[in-house]
Amino acid sequence: MILLDGAMGTTISNIYKIEDKCREKLNYTKPELIKEIHEKYVEAGVDCLKANTFNCSKEALGNYEENEEKAYEYALLGGRICKKVAEKYNKKSIGTFCLPDKDQIDGILDSDVDIVMIETIYNLDKGLESLKLLKKQMEDKKLVKPVMISFAVDKDGKLYSGEKLIDVYEKFLNKYIISIGINCSELTKEVMEALNKFKKETNLKISFHPNSNGDMENFIEDINKLLKVSIVDIVGGCCGTDFNHIKMLKKNLEEFQSKNGVPDES
């Protein structure tokens, strides 16, 4: 089982009590803080660290009333911080993004993170455009990076653009993809059905890193439901999670693996 970290934004707000709306700007203004957060997630037991790059797109920076021209720089710095910590502790670094933004994608790629994740894909057309742009930029730079894709769906297993994920996920598969999964979503019957279909119909790793509403036991139990039926290979936390969730999840995984004789794939 591969363990991802938790939410960067939640950790910054809830644990470090920093109110800056644009957390990605901290890659420039407080790089030591971002480095410390990555190291604390390493202490919690993770195998992979997600860089602080998710909201580096021009659209996101504009929504924060920040300088949109900083998209490349903030993504580059976020990826480099993550990569440096990951290398130090023999972990993997993941640059994350959602929207099709060339500057953000170039910054992530130029930071030389180990893996790129298109995360929280909530809109079919935007998701496909993001994947197409990432593929183009990698090929233009003559880079080959493994790619993870992770969707955000409603309780009915639908993207927020209206399509049932179970019907459209194959549109996202290409030679670069190493994992497919769902994040930032509630574990419902329909979500389990989608994850199970991914498991049965692909040779990819299956990921699930859900939100937490503060109920840590419920967060763990949702992941356990998937572990018990051998659907997931990669787990972690999304919105509302911090070091404490990941520490408890790590302990839970160790107990589950010990009890069930499951080998550690990390």
Q: What is the pLDDT of residue 259?
A: 86
- Specify if 4 maps to a domain: no
Asked if residue 39 is part of any domain, the answer here is yes
Range of the domain at 46: 24-205
Which residue reads 């070091």 in tokens? 243
Q: What is the pLDDT of residues 51-86, one digit of tens each?
A: 999 999 999 999 999 999 999 999 999 999 999 999
Mean pLDDT, each 10-residue run in order, the chain (266 residues) = 96 91 96 98 98 98 97 98 98 98 98 98 98 98 98 98 98 97 97 97 98 93 96 97 97 91 55
List the Cα angle 60/62/65 in 5-degree steps.
120
Residue 266 lies inside a defined structural domain of this protein: no
pLDDT for the residue 218: 95
Domain count, the chain: 1
In terms of C-beta distances under 8 Å and separation of at least 24 residues, what long-range contacts does 212-217 make, across chains too? Answer: 212/237, 212/239, 212/240, 212/241, 212/245, 213/240, 214/240, 216/244, 216/245, 216/248
Nearest to 246 by CA among 60, 11, 20, 30: 11
What CATH code is carried by the domain that includes residue 98? 3.20.20.330
Q: What is the distance in angstroms between the CA of the first residue and the CA of the last residue of the chain?
A: 6
Beta pairing partners, 207: 181, 234
pLDDT at residue number 262: 59
Per residue in 147-176, pLDDT tens? 999 999 999 999 999 999 999 999 999 999
Residue 62 lies inside a defined structural domain of this protein? yes
In a domain, 11, yes or no: no
Whether residue 81 lies inside any domain: the answer is yes
Evaluate whether residue 55 is within a structural domain. Answer: yes
Longest pairwise C-alpha distance within the chain: 51
Structural domain contains residue 220: no
Alpha-carbon distance of 148 to 124, in angstroms, equals 16
